[in-house]
Structures are given as C-alpha cells and as structure tokens.
Structure 1
Amino acid sequence: MQFLFIINPISGNEDKSHLLRMVKAELKTDDKLTIFKTTGENDTEKIQQQLKKENFDRVLVAGGDGTIKLAAEAMGENALPIGILPAGSANGLASDLDLPEQPKKFIPIALYGKTRKIDAININDELGLHISDFGLNAELIKEYESSSLRGKLGYAINSITTLFQSKGPYEFEISTEKESFTKKGIMLALANSKKFGTGAVVNPKGKIDDGIFEVLLFKKLDLFEILKTLNEGKELSSDFVESFPVKEVKIKTQQKVDFQIDGEYCKAISEVNAKILPNKLEIAVRLG
C-alpha cells in the first residue's frame, strides 16, 4: 500500500517523531510512506500537489481535528480512506469513533483497519466533521489559541477567564427545513457527533452517520449541567439545552459572534448556512 502521512508538528504540544518511528516499524515490506509536515502556509495546495504525484491508497493524519479537516478538504470529492493518529490538543472525532488512545493500538488501525463511512457538514463552504459552534466554546478556543498553555490544562485554565468575560447570551435567528424561530442562549452548536474534543458529551443522541445533524442551543451557564457532560449517558436538562435535528439550517445573529469549526477558531460572524453531507468521509475504525 501507498500511504500519504500528514503530520502537524505543533498540534497537541507534543513531538511526533515517536509516532513516525512506530508507523515505520509497523509497515509491511512492500508498503511506501510519503511524509508531509504542515507549516500553516498553503498546506491545502501542497497536499493536493502530493496527491497528484502518487496513487495513494490511504491518508494517515497525525494531529487533531483541525488537521483531519485540512486533509479532508484537500482531498475534495476524491476522498481516500483516512487513518487517524490522534495527536491534537483535542481529538473529538477520534473520541467519538471510539479509537484507542494508545499509539500501539491506534497505529495498526490507522494503517490497515476496516473503514466506516461518516457524514460531514458543509458550513459556509467549509467542512465540519463533528462539532462547531457560536458563542462560549468558540470564545474559549480563541483564548486558548492565543495562550502559551497547551493541552487539557490550557483548556481548563482558559475556561475560567472565558466564563467571566463571555459576552453572551446571544439572540439566534434559526431557520430549518420546517420552521423559523428566534432563541437566546450562551452558545449554539452544530453537532454531527456526541462529544467535544475534551470528551465532554454534549449531544447524547448524536450519530455521525445518520444523515442528519443537531442544532444545540445552550440557554444558560449551569455548572451542574456542565459537569453532567463529562459523564457519558447523562441526560442534559431541557432547561439547559434544546436540540433540533436537521439536514439544513440557516443561523443569523444581530451582532457578530465568535465561531469555531472542529476546535479551530474561525472569526466572529453573523450568519451560517449549514447542510449535511451524507457518507462524506471514510475513516479506519477497527482491525479485523
């Protein structure tokens, strides 16, 4: 097999050389590995150039959700199977797919594992893989990206500052296939899966391959309900969050609100158009 191995050297604040060594040790004799390291400059175009040079069988991605999104967007309509090596500050997609956390277990899956088709969301002509949102969480990610603290400790410390500085609640105008309405909340999420990258379960009913996604409106700051998200299976109160299953949605705000896609801060915006893309990606998920 021919593999294109996309490595994000700075994701998760950890060196990836050990992953590269382990991948090389796991390869079969006739396999070929082409390595591409992201730099943050024209990565999409450079990956596309690499894809044109060889007939790759699979793309390996060592990084977080943003790096997987980068690889998927670079492949476009000619998507190859993706093998995920979770190595970001937040690995929401890997967590939602129940991939192992230990390299010696997830590397064989990434290389040779059976694949599964999953949906994605077109969000203002960008690809969303698991959860994107307006408001509080996007504000947290903005603070985190400008901080020198990385990993889950960085998220925890920055969350304290963000909670005190949040500009919410916000007013959201929501138009689905069936109805239009206005709601207020501290955060509005587009959820294709169950979990944030931190592992917090915010959409217990979410399925990543059911042809729909959920619009989640978080109405207020509630510490008890936030703690419940850390325990899978806990049902969140309807006073805390409302869920609207959709295939397509348009969201408008009166003011520009911070927005993020899959853990990557975008910018403050006032309008989002989102539509489900069924069976968009093929991900290696298990051996055998």
Structure 2
Amino acid sequence: MKLLLVINPVSGDNDKEPLIKKIKDYLGSQNDLDIYKTNGKDDAERLRKYFQKKYDRVLVMGGDGTIKSVAETMGDNPLSMGIIPAGSANGLAHDLELPLSVDEAIPVALGSKTRKIDAICLNGQLGLHISDLGLNAELIKKYESSFFRGKLGYALNSIPTLFQSEGPYEFTIETKDITYTHSGIMLAFANSNKFGTGAVVNPEGKIDDGVFEILVFKKIDVIEIFKTLQNAENLSSDFVEIIPVKQARVRTEKPVDFQIDGEYCHTVSEVNAYIAPQKLEIAIAE
C-alpha cells in the first residue's frame, strides 16, 4: 500500500515518536509510507502537494481538529481515511466506536471495512463532529492558551470558564420553514450524538443520516448533565432544545466564541451551515 501518515505532534498529551515506530513496525517493509507532521502554519498548502500523489489511504494521528483539517485539504479527493486517535477528546473516534489504543487502532485504520459519513459546512469550513457557539468554545479558547494539555487542561479551565462566561446569549435560528429565537449558554451544530467525553447530548443523532441537529443548551443543569454521561435517551427540553435540519442560519446580537471540532476559530455573529452528505470515507472496525 502507498500510505500518507499525517501527525499532529502537539495533540493530546503524549510523545508521538513511539507511536510512529509502532506503525512502521506493523507495516514492515512491504508498504510505502510518507509522513507529514503538522506545524499549524502552512499545513494546507503543504498537504495539498502530498495529495497530488496517488495514495491508497491517508492515516491521521491526532484529534478531531486534525482530522477536520486533513478532510478539508483533501477536498473532493475520494481517498479513504484511517484514524489513530491521539487527541485530548477524540470525539469522532468515540462516535465511530474506533479503538482508542494505538495497538488496536492501527489494524482498524488499515483494514478493508469503511463507512461514509456526512459533514457540516460551517461558514466555508468542514465540521465532522460537534461544533458550537458559546460556553464550550470559551473553554476551548482558554485551553488552547493554557500551559496544561490533555484532559487535565480542560479540567483546570472548566470552573473559571463557568464563572467568566458572557452567556446566556440570544440565538436566532433561521431554517427553510421557520425562524426561532432561543436564549442559551451554548448552541451546537451536531453531526453525531456525543462529545468526546462520552456525554450523549444528541440521542437521535447519526453521523450518516443526511441531516444535522442544532442543539440549544438553555442552562447548566447538573441532573441533566449526569443523564448525558449515562447515555440517557431523553433529555429535558428545559435543558436542551434539539432541532434537526439540513440547512440553517444562526445569528447573535453580539459576537460569540466559536469552535469547530475542538479547534477554536474566533468570535462570530453569524454561522451559515448546511449538510454535505457522504463527504468522507473512514476505516472502521469489523
């Protein structure tokens, strides 16, 4: 096989070199492997040059943000992707029930069974998992400037974010049929049903059903949050409003922090979103 391995050296909180060695040892000398390490500067331009070559599969070692960036750079290239989870949360891997250990993830990432998944186009960018405006994006913004990485970094920034948040916000949601106005601490664009923590926030969400859900979280509710961690199928409408759509426009009166697949973007006052069905092919477990 002719393979491209894309690695985010700073994702998660671990040294990637031993993981690279495991991949090389597994492949042996019968496969042709190119390796690209992201730098956060000119990755799109450099990756496009790699994708001018003919590969059998691209392997991505990183978190949701790295997967998103590679998918965007691939464009309409029909190349399938194998995921080796190495981020802080790995939400997409959780959703696809991919193994989280490298030893188990490698044979799955190189296997023959694949699944096509949808994506959400958000202001011209791809969202493969869950993106949002408000509280969670504020947390990710603080996390990215924090000294601590991994889940510890998220934990240490969670409490200050709760107290310093500028929410609740007024969200105006325009769909093909109706316009809603909701107040909430966060609005999410969900292509799946759970966050990387395992919290099920969109019980009916499916990653390949041709629709996405807008989730308006109205308040912090400890009981409802506990229910999400227990994979509850019914969440109170007083906690979250779920709106299935194929296309929507969301506006806010003032700019709000925005993140896509765990990567902080900037503040925005408008997001235009639509579904891109069957956008990406990913290797999954047998």
Give the alignment's TM-score, normalised by structure 2. Answer: 0.97
Deviates more, 1:61-70 or 1:110-119: 110-119
- State the Cα deviation string for residues 158-177 of structure 1 (Å, max 9, x = none): 11111111111100110011
Which residue matches 1:240? 239
Quote the Cα distance in structure 2 between the aligned partners of 1:214 and 1:182.
16
Deviation at 1:112, TM superposition (A): 2.1
Deviation at 1:225, TM superposition (A): 1.4
Residue 124 of structure 1 corresponds to: 123
Q: Which amino acid aligns with 1:11?
A: S
How far the C-alpha of 1:41 sits from its partner, in A, is 1.3
Q: How many residues align?
A: 286
- Which stretch shifts more, 227-236 or 257-266? 227-236
Tell whether the 8 Å contact from 1:152 to 1:198 is kept in structure 2 after alignment: no
**Residue 6 of structure 1 pairs with residue 25 of structure 2:** no
RMSD of Structure 2 on Structure 1 (CA): 1.1
Deviation (angstroms), 1:30: 2.6
Cα shift at 1:136:
0.6
Deviation at 1:28, TM superposition (A): 5.3
- Say which SS state the counterpart of residue 11 (structure 1) adopts: coil
Task: Measure the CA separation in 1 of the matches of 2:194 and 2:180.
Answer: 26
Q: Are positions 1:152 and 2:151 aligned together?
A: yes
Indicate the residue corresponding to 1:31 in structure 2. Answer: 31
Which string of whole-angstrom CA distances, capped at 9 and with x for unpartnered residues, describes residues 102-135 of structure 1?
2111110111241100000000000000100000
In structure 2, C-alpha distance between the alignment counterparts of 1:137 and 1:207, rounded to whole Å: 21
The DSSP-based 3-state class of the residue aligned with 2:156 is helix
Sequence identity (%) = 62
Q: Map residues 99-138 of structure 1 onto 2, 5 A cutoff.
A: 99-138=98-137
Q: How far does residue 27 in structure 1 lie from its aligned partner after superposition?
A: 1.2
Structure 2 contact 132–259 (Cα < 8 Å) conserved: yes
What's the secondary structure of 1:112's corresponding residue?
A: coil
Question: Alpha-carbon deviation of 1:198?
Answer: 2.0
CA distance in 1, matches of 2:28, 2:120: 35
Gaps (5+ residues) in structure 1? none
Q: Does 1:204 align with 2:210?
A: no
TM-score normalised to the size of structure 1? 0.97
Q: Measure the CA separation in 2 of the matches of 1:194 and 1:19.
A: 29
Are the equivalent residues in 1 in contact too, given 2:85–2:93 (CA < 8 A)? yes
Q: Letter of the 2:270 partner, please give it.
A: E
Shift of 1:182: 0.9
